[in-house]
Amino acid sequence: MTEFLIFVILTVFSTESINVNGLQRRFGLYVPQQDTAKLPVVFVLHGGGGSIRSIRRMAGWQFEELAEKMKFIVVYPQAYKRHWNDGRGIKKYDSHRLNICDVCFINAIIDTLEKKYNIDTSRIFAAGISNGGIMAMRLACDPSSRIKKIASLAMLLTDTLTKICRMPHPRGAMFFIGTDDPLVPWQGGHIHFGKRKLGRVVSYDSTIAFFASNNGCNGRKEVKLSPLVTKIFYTECESGENTVLYVIKGGGHTWPGAKSQLPSFIVGKTIRGLRATDTIVRFFLNEKY
């Protein structure tokens, strides 16, 4: 079975290129073996300094494995100079300094897919880690974005997004944050890498409350899933779009249930007891998670 899956992945993954606002932009594309049904689309956004290859490896090719089983397209966009323009305005990153329109990039990919494949435009989603997690939130906040639900790993809502966020309609949101993340403080504060400060985030409570409010949610609950994982969620959402956050005790700046690409002394521990990729996909596709 594993050998067959590897063969399928190798035969259906491709790297594509499109022109967006005068820039040649790339994205990885995985299209499962399909019938005539419309396919949902899941965007997977790498972290700062990452790439198409690094995010596929970080997630352990789990998205592609699930795409075959559950039938959806996976898209791995490549950020301009390896950093998404997520709204923080950090001048050292070319994408921020030049104000690259990454929302335009994602929308252009959707337009391209719509012409070439039978996609379900009512089910387009985005998951990202770190810088990619902020970018996923920016996609939720931008009125022109066609993303319906997001998932953010190792990142919380930034101060800048709370000021510019203009969600035109409810958007489901899922978050994963580690209590020992050495880069992103789960109680709020400066994002930092070493001595460098890279913007501020609000607390995990404020993050989930912000999205829950937009989704018309009440009835906040907490459930301890294991000694290391607590699930915080809302049970009464008028919009039908849920808001969920997983607090991972001892977790670092990592992808739960996958393999970290950096040593633990830099990013902290990866918790194996929760497979985030499975949870995210089930959340996106309205299955039990």
* pLDDT, tens only, 52-100: 999 999 888 899 999 999 999 999 999 999 999 999 999 999 999 999 9
Burial of 62 (0-12, 13-18, 19+ CB in 10 A): buried
Q: What pTM was computed for the model? A: 0.94
For each of the domains in the chain, give its residue range(s) and CATH number, in order of start.
2-284 (3.40.50.1820)
Stretch 26-53: mean pLDDT? 93
Q: Answer whether residue 289 shows pLDDT above 90.
A: no
Q: Which residues of 184-210 are buried (b: 16+ CB within 10 A; e: fewer)?
A: bbbebeebeeeeeebbbbbbbbebbbb
- Where are the alpha helices (H) located in the chain, listed in sequence order? 2-12, 52-58, 62-70, 94-97, 102-116, 131-141, 159-164, 204-214, 264-267, 276-284
Residue-level pLDDT at 236: 84
In whole angstroms, what is the distance from residue 56 CA to residue 209 CA?
31
- 76, 61 contact by CB (below 8 A): no
Give, as one character, the DSSP assignment of residue 271: P
Residue-level pLDDT at 1: 46
Provide φ and ψ at 5, rounded to 5°.
Answer: -60, -45
Q: What angle do CA 172, 175, 176 make, to 5 degrees?
A: 155
In whole angstroms, what is the distance from residue 187 CA to residue 14 CA?
40
